[in-house]
Amino acid sequence: MVTAVQSLPRPPEPVRITVAPRTPALRHLGPNWYAAVMGTAVVASAGAALPLDVPGRGPVLTGVWALSVVLLATVVAGRTGHWVRHRDQARAHLLDPAVAPFYGCLSMALLAVGTGTLTVGRGVVGEGPAVAVAFALFGAGTTVGLVGAVAVPYLMVVRHRVEAGGASPVWLLPVVAPMVSAASGPLLVPYLPPGQWREAALFGCYAMFGLSLLATLLILTMVFSRLVHHGPLPLATTPALFLVLGPLGQSTTAVNKLADAAPGVLDAPYASGMGVLAVVYGVPVMGFALLWLTLAAAMVVRAARRGMPFTLGWWAFTFPVGTCVTGAQSLADRTGLVAYQWTATALYGFLVVAWAVAGTLTLRGLLRGELLRAPR
């Protein structure tokens, strides 16, 4: 007789609980966060440029400008903490060819808020304080922008290792910053002493216009070559195609604002010539901007149908489009063509929707902690 031996139940294995190390909130706070400041500030300044009679427009634009000021202070404080507490990561960002170009966003954020302060915030803080703040932010933003326009391309040449076909629209960010200065500077020219001061400021803005324009042409050819030879951008980075609109719209804005500031600063032949240049340059460039907008939008629709995820890159739908709003409106003011007014209004409608969507999704990502994690 065989007796079955009943096996005793095995004791349960101990449960091992692994606690992931908590990532400091500031460690992965990159310079791309300044894009949210730029996108918010341009909603206010571009809205103020449109001659629309909409009830409640003034208070709404003032509120958006105030939000941009708060965002600028918050991001500057966060980025300062990033450099103080996580210098290794900050240096790694500078040596990363995908992140380093975003250092141009600091300059543009300062300049965008300064322009908003002068055009929208003046009714709140007064003309004197608004002009003082605008001058301070213009000086800081221009200095940072000119340094970045040299330093980032230098790092790209001597330190970064970019593979063939690795050209990206984000390369435009450091070189387009001086163009933002060229568009902001003319607003401050009337507040300078007459004579040499105003003339030097005006020609200095024209020099930054040329600096940024020629650098943009070099990079834009590489970006288009990359698209043609290597296909569309990865889904997550497809919104970066809208960055090309930045130098196009901003240069059109700049050349018109400079022409507005030229009378009384330059002699009559040159002042009138600047007005001619504004039309001769602005009309073709705005046409190309609309062509690129259509191409980029088609690429984004294609990427969205394939599951394009949300990233901070969605803020590319805001500031570059805002520069096209001000560019089209500048041409409308100079030529009197209603078509440009309609174009500016339609683009502003797109800008407001894009800003609302990007802002909502960014806030949701912050509350969930997704946007401050280490990139995968």
pLDDT at 2 over 50: no
What single string gives the DSSP state of each residue in 32-77?
A: GGHHHHHHHHHHHHHHHHS----TTHHHHHHHHHHHHHHHHHHHHH
pLDDT at 327 over 60: yes
pLDDT at 27 over 90: no
pLDDT at 91 over 80: yes
Burial class (CB in 10 A: 0-12, 13-18, 19+), 242: buried
Q: Which of 22-36, 71-85, 129-143, 155-169 has the lowest mean pLDDT?
A: 22-36
**What mean pLDDT comes out for the span 320-342?**
96
**What mean pLDDT comes out for the span 306-325?**
96
Q: Which top CATH class is 31-368?
A: mainly alpha
Instruction: Write the Ramachandran bin of 161: left for phi over 0, alpha for psi from -120 to 50, otherwise beta.
Output: beta
Three-class DSSP category at 263 = strand
pLDDT at 167 over 50: yes
* Confidence bin at 261 (pLDDT 50/70/90): very high
Q: What is the mean pLDDT of the chain?
A: 91
pLDDT at residue 12, as a whole number: 52
Q: Pick from 148, 32, 29: which is nearest to 82 by CA?
A: 29
For residues 175 and 272, what is the distance between their CA atoms, to the nearest angstrom?
29
Burial class (CB in 10 A: 0-12, 13-18, 19+), 156: middle
Convert the pLDDT of each residue in 354-376 to its tens digit.
999 999 999 999 998 888 887 66
pLDDT at residue 24, as a whole number: 56
For residues 51 and 254, what is the distance between their CA atoms, to the nearest angstrom?
19
Q: Which of 62-76, 264-278, 309-323 has the lowest mean pLDDT?
A: 264-278
